[in-house]
Amino acid sequence: MHLGHTHDGPAAVSADARRPDGTRRALRVGLGGPVGSGKTATVAALCRALRAELSLAVVTNDIYTREDAEFLLREAVLPPERISAVETGACPHTAIRDDISANLEAVEDLEDTVGPLDLILVESGGDNLTATFSKGLVDAQIFVIDVAGGDDIPRKGGPGVTTADLLVVNKTDLAPYVGSDLARMSADAREQRAGLPVVFQSLRGGDGVADVAAWVRGRLAAWTA
């Protein structure tokens, strides 16, 4: 990270907290997790929940070019100029962790083209349990798993489950149908995560994405403080 570097250069190099003109850049939050756990649905729900109060944009990282971006466009959660797709050459985890250059271009281009932003959500392509975001790319990361993927995932751990700033266990409404034990998942997660927060959510009912949105608001308050 290059926090605290001088900012008179022609462009930011890495995770500089300020843009070349000296203004504070947007908070960048990464969303990762296995295929089908509901990352894109969570991003869509977050956009709907936050777009009235915040200026936000989304970067998707697809295995196949633009699939997730197309979904967000169809759902019309944001105007098209606020959604950018990064092509990952069949390796989505590389683009968010080992070689973040394309994603850094994308987040900076969004801030340049749609003006000052409060928040950029960077969605990873569906990957495995080891995929995490580089700290050079995002300021905080959310790892999304779901109850249908097996209730032993929190117990198994892995970098996403154990180190993400927020763990989201999605699709709780399906638990009775797939035989997942939510209490056990919760206990395992708390044990693995040493006090880091966990949210159980269903986007089909209850409070939907409200808890995650509240967590994002908290991070943003800390970022702009």
Partner 1 sequence: MSRAALLVLADGRFPAGGHAHSGGAEAAVKAGRITDAATLEEFCRGRLHTAGLVAGALAAAAALGADPGELDAAADARTPSPALRTAARRLGRQLLRAARSTWPSSELDALAREFPKGAHQPVVLGLAARAAGLGPEDAAHCAAYESVSGPATATVRLLSLDPFDATGALARLAPELDRVADRAVAAARRVRAEGADALPAASGPLLEVGAEWHAAWPVRLFAS
Binding residues for GTP: 33-40
Nearer of residues 85 and 167 to partner 1, judged by Cβ: 85
Comparing CB distances to partner 1, the nearer of 83 and 216 is 83
Inter-residue contact 144 to 42 (CB < 8 Å): yes
Q: Residue 105 phi/psi, 5° resolution?
A: -60, -45
Q: Which is nearer to partner 1, 93 or 193 (CB)?
A: 93
Q: How far is the CB of 63 from partner 1 (least distance, A)?
A: 7
Report yes or no: 39 and 121 within 8 Å, Cβ to Cβ. Answer: no
Question: Least CB distance from residue 75 to partner 1, whole Å?
Answer: 18
Q: From the CB of 208, what's the least distance to partner 1, in Å?
A: 31
Q: How far is the CB of 126 from partner 1 (least distance, A)?
A: 14
- Is 223:191 a contact under the CB 8 Å cutoff? no
CA distances from 143 to 23, 171, 208, 215 (A): 29, 14, 17, 13
Tell me which residues touch partner 1 (CB under 8 A). Answer: 2, 9-11, 13-14, 63-67, 86-91, 94-95, 98-102, 104-105
**Among residues 96, 76, 206, 91, which one has the least CA distance to residue 143?**
96
Closest to partner 1 by CB, 114 vs 174, is: 114
Residue given tokens 């089908």 in the structure block: 36
- Per DSSP, 181 falls in state -
